[in-house]
């Protein structure tokens, strides 16, 4: 059973997100929280969550610190930020801190549903320039090319473990068994790894890992 944590201090928006999740997976189990402390209590006591939808401005978040704290406590849990903020800088910084997606609250109901569906399928969702405040003609861009060390160092411990297993030629189902997580979680980690490394395929990700190993050697 898919288990999703919805964290927002506005009951009406929690209800809207719950509807978006139900529209994608009618059998999904949704657990709600209204503060970062509530989120941390839930994830510390329960490691079965497949996805967290996290408001950026609810009590206890303190900007990006809340996202960073949650990523440290549960590095294997895909976290999607849901926020009224929709400027390119905030979106980019959240993605750099390990978010699996960013959903502006200004999106219509159908777009929010589609975004949730993308992430649950293992993808990464970021809004296009038309849905960003003050973006003009500038869309979100991946970080500029850098040394393999820098890109790989940006991975969370669990993402790095997934990359190492990919380097061993392991399939998603094998990685699920080794790490003891769901296939949805593994797919989200793989997508996050590809995004952070600035590559489009597993093969390219493994080549980046090998280049770093060669440079170290």
CA–CA dist 204, 17 (Å, integer): 35
Instruction: Label residue 142 by pLDDT band (50, 70, 90).
Output: very low
CA–CA dist 117, 111 (Å, integer): 10
Helices 11-24, 109-120: axis angle to 10 degrees equals: 60
From residue 65, how far is each of 56, 151, 182 by CA, in Å? 10, 21, 27
From residue 66, how far is each of 8, 22, 88, 102, 171 by CA, in Å? 13, 26, 19, 15, 32
- Helices then strands, counting H and E runs in the chain, come out as 10, 5
Superfamily name with CATH number, domain 3-131: Response regulator (3.40.50.2300)
In contact, 195 and 99? CB cutoff 8 Å: no
- Domain parsing of the chain, residue ranges: 3-131, 148-216
Confidence (pLDDT) at 131? 57
State which fold the 148-216 domain adopts: Arc Repressor Mutant, subunit A (1.10.10)
pLDDT in tens, 5-23: 999 999 999 999 999 999 9
Q: Rounded mean pLDDT of the chain?
A: 82
From residue 22, how far is each of 16, 17, 26, 63, 139 by CA, in Å? 10, 9, 4, 28, 30
Instruction: Label residue 149 by pLDDT band (50, 70, 90).
Output: low
For residues 14-41, give the mean pLDDT: 93
Two tokens at 42? Answer: 């839930």
Domains 3-131 and 148-216 share a fold: no
């Amino acid at each position: 059973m898919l288990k999703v944590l919805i964290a927002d201090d506005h009951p009406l928006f929690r209800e809207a997100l719950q509807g978006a999740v139900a529209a994608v997976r009618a059998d999904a189990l949704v657990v709600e929280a209204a503060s970062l402390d509530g989120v941390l209590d839930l994830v510390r006591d329960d490691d079965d969550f497949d996805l967290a939808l996290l408001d950026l401005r609810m009590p206890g978040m303190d900007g990006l610190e809340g996202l960073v704290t949650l990523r440290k406590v549960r590095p294997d849990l895909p976290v999607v930020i849901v926020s009224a903020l929709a400027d390119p800088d905030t979106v980019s910084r959240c993605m750099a801190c390990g978010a699996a997606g960013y959903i502006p609250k200004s999106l219509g109901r159908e777009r929010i549903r589609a975004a949730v569906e993308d992430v649950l399928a293992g993808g990464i969702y970021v809004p296009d320039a038309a849905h960003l405040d003050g973006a003009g003609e500038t869309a979100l861009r991946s970080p500029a090319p850098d040394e393999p060390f820098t890109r790989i160092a940006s991975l969370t411990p669990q993402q790095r473990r997934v990359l190492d297993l990919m380097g061993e030629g392991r399939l998603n189902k094998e990685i699920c068994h080794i790490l003891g997580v769901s296939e949805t979680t593994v797919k989200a980690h793989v997508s996050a790894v590809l995004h952070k490394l600035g590559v489009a395929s597993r093969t390219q990700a493994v080549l980046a890992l090998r280049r770093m190993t060669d440079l170290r050697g």
